Amino acid sequence: MNSLDLALCIYNKMIISTHNNKKSNNMKEVDFYQVSLKLLLKDDSGAILILKAKEGDISEGYYDLPGGRIDKDEFNKDFVDIMRREVEEELGGVDVIFNQFPVAISRNTNTKTGNRILHLFFEAQYQGGEIRISDEHLSYRWIKLGEVNLEEYFTLGILDGVRMYVGKGRL
């Protein structure tokens, strides 16, 4: 399944879900999700950049991927523009080439706030520049996803999305 097929599949499942939620004249309560865009940033060797979660973060003790939630004023913006902002905030002025279509999807519930989050994962190619992580994370490293135990690095929705990505042979 290519990226466009994945996006259409997601859209169709949302339409079917909405249709199936109708119960005679009553409608079941519709769920709302925050949307988070996550980046699988690859270097020339195929390694992925991961960010060590801070103490107190819901992923404490694990790693995260660059990216974050869509701001309210970004609703009509292109996903690549939103990812570009996130990369600038979290990694500094690095040079990146983005794939404009999602390559994986996952969801989870924030254990601290109860917010439900839908993660869309995008691929990008690291072109260069000094990585300067923000205070949102402790450190960074590069790993080859096919050579590590994913459960040692990721948890919750990030783990699910990375598993989907690896399962599709995108290494």
Assigned domain for 73 exists: yes
Residue 13 lies in a domain: no
Evaluate whether 94 touches 87 at the Cβ level (below 8 Å).
Answer: yes
The number of domains in the chain is 1
103-159 pLDDT, tens digit per residue, is 999 999 998 899 999 999 999 999 999 999 999 999 999 999 999 999 999 999 999
Look at residue 12 and tell me if it is in a domain.
no
Whether pLDDT at 17 is above 80:
no
In CATH, what number is assigned to the domain containing residue 111? 3.90.79.10
Question: CA 95, 144, 165 angle in degrees (round to 5)?
Answer: 85
Predicted structure pTM score: 0.83
Rounded to whole angstroms, what are the CA distances from 60 to 16, 40, 53, 56, 69? 36, 20, 5, 6, 18
Range of the domain at 136: 34-167
Over 90: is that where the pLDDT of 56 sits? no
- Residue from 149, 155, 124, 148 nearest 43 by CA: 124
